[in-house]
């Protein structure tokens, strides 16, 4: 049983910043991988960034240099720092924690970027 609670979404203007948080219950977090996905209406959920338990990170090209994924294992929390936001970043963002064969998803948090 792992529950993920997301927070930090909101409405910002283009060029602004947000930090999303993903608070996880359970001791499995420290050995799990963490990822952030985003989804817009009518589109598939797509991977934005990921970080392994060993802190290896990967990013989709469109967010490289702007977004940073991180984790604080002592707090069982993952983060997505989003800078220089663009309207194309508008989506519902979901965090995922997994440790095979288990997979858990957050409830989603809306990010809206306007200009």
What ranges in 1-115 are assigned the alpha helix state H? none
pLDDT at residue 2 above 80?
yes
Q: How many CB atoms lie within 10 A of CB 43?
A: 9
What is the predicted pLDDT for the residue at 26? 82
pLDDT in tens, 74-83: 999 999 999 9
pLDDT in tens, 4-31: 999 999 999 999 999 999 999 988 899 9
Token pair listed for 27: 């001791």
Side-chain-side CA neighbours of 89 within 13 Å: the count stands at: 33
CA distance 21 to 81: 9
Dist CA 50 CA 43 (whole Å):
20
């Amino acid at each position: 049983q792992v529950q993920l609670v997301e927070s930090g979404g909101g409405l910002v203007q283009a060029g602004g910043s947000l930090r999303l948080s993903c608070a996880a219950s359970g001791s499995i977090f420290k050995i799990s991988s963490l990822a952030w996905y985003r989804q817009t209406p009518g589109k598939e959920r797509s991977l934005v960034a990921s970080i392994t338990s060993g802190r290896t990170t990967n990013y989709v090209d469109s967010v490289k240099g702007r977004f940073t994924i991180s984790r604080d294992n002592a707090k069982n929390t993952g983060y997505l720092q989003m800078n220089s936001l663009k309207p194309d970043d508008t989506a519902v963002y979901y965090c995922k924690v997994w440790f095979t064969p288990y997979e858990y998803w957050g409830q989603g948090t809306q990010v809206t970027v306007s200009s």
